[in-house]
Amino acid sequence: MSGTPHLAIDAMGGDTGPETTVAGVAHALRHDPALAFTLFGDEAILAPLVARHKAFAGRVGIAHAPEVVSGEEKPSAALRRAKKTSMGLAIAAVKDGKADAAVSAGNTGALMATAKVALRTIKGIDRPALAALLPTLGTHDLVMLDLGANTECDARNLFEFAIMGAAYSRIVHDIAEPKVRLLNIGTEEMKGTDVVRDAAALIRSAPHLPLQFDGFIEANALGRGEADVIVSDGFSGNIALKTAEGTATFIGDLIRRAFTSSLRSKFGFLLSRPAITLLRQGLDPNTRNGAVFLGLTGTVVKSHGSASAVGFANAIAVAAKLARARITDRIAEDLAQTRSANVDTAA
């Protein structure tokens, strides 16, 4: 099973829906022919889209779902309809062991609520967190969590996020002891809230964990490649993520204005186009698409609602990688180690 993950796809989610998700599945299958899929959604819409792809034969099935979660729907409303929606049924397939992971580009709040209720948290984890890979100037991307699943967190939550983030980093970075840091407004020990200071103390008190804790990091150092994992509460993490997005867009706009300010600049821009393309690829959110809900008993990956087919395929690749690496088991093992170590210390 683990070599050939079976993925449950919410084929109706996202701004452009089935056109994009089915094209994304096709793209993913070309790059990773061992994958198998069940597409959840309106059969009448999906069947003709699926029929276009010969490569889907024997590898991509359709499971009819009569309803769709809308983008504005409240999590509580989406939860009530979970047994009929493409999102709810895709997650149920993971719960029932019929799929190894689910991927959806739908409403984040609804996805979070549905996944939490259907899959529950791993024993020892209080709350799941939303994790994603962010670009750095270092040798590899950075795992950051929580990006908005929990607006308020206590020290124990942040401690658990560190364990979950480190497990994710070991899988994607192939590092035995990832460097973990806590997001704070200063690097000195006395800086920040009681919550971050207590979280730092908790992580320091668990030296047996397969991670290297390097203390606090400030938000201006996020992209410097100084950490493999950065942990924060969901409010701060969401603000950092969105500020970075907004700043990138802001500077992109300034660049466009600057380069069209004179004929000379326009000519320079044309000559520099390969450089600009390189820059755009470096910042393209599609290449890093696929945020993961960590801490649940099954893997659920959130694709950006506006992701392209290639972006959706990248979210699928994330789900496949985490399913193959059995991330849920790894987090549970690390937690079990922490518990047994605590018992040893107490004895």
Site residues for a copy of itself, window 106-165 (CB under 8 A)? 135, 137, 148, 151-152
Q: What are phi and psi of 142, to 5 degrees?
A: -120, 140
Among 258, 336, 340, 345, binds a copy of itself (CB under 8 A): 258
Based on the shown chain and the rule CB under 8 A, indicate whether residue 58 belongs to the binding site for a copy of itself.
no
Based on the shown chain and the rule CB under 8 A, indicate whether residue 239 belongs to the binding site for a copy of itself.
yes
Q: Site for a copy of itself (CB under 8 A): how many residues?
A: 57
Based on the shown chain and the rule CB under 8 A, indicate whether residue 254 belongs to the binding site for a copy of itself.
yes
Based on the shown chain and the rule CB under 8 A, indicate whether residue 253 belongs to the binding site for a copy of itself.
yes
Region from 16-24, 54-62, 250-258, 285-293 binding a copy of itself, contact rule CB under 8 A: 250-258
- Tell me whether residue 1 or residue 278 sits nearer to a copy of itself (CB atom): 278
Region from 14-22, 29-37, 203-211, 245-253 binding a copy of itself, contact rule CB under 8 A: 245-253
Based on the shown chain and the rule CB under 8 A, indicate whether residue 244 belongs to the binding site for a copy of itself.
yes
Query: Smallest gap, in angstroms, from Cβ of residue 148 to a copy of itself?
Result: 6
Query: Smallest gap, in angstroms, from Cβ of residue 90 to a copy of itself?
Result: 24
- Tell me whether residue 57 or residue 137 sits nearer to a copy of itself (CB atom): 137
Query: Smallest gap, in angstroms, from Cβ of residue 59 to a copy of itself?
Result: 37
Query: Smallest gap, in angstroms, from Cβ of residue 226 to a copy of itself?
Result: 11
Residues 93-131 as b or e (16 or more Cβ within 10 Å = b): bbbeeebbbbbbbbbbbbbbbbbbebbebbeebebbbbb
- Tell me whether residue 1 or residue 185 sits nearer to a copy of itself (CB atom): 185
Rounded to an integer, what distance in angstroms lies between the CA atom of residue 299 and that of residue 322? 7
Site residues for a copy of itself, window 171-230 (CB under 8 A)? 183, 185, 192-193, 218-224
Binding site for a copy of itself (CB under 8 A): 135, 137, 148, 151-152, 183, 185, 192-193, 218-224, 234-236, 238-251, 253-255, 257-259, 261-262, 264-265, 267-276, 278-279, 282-283
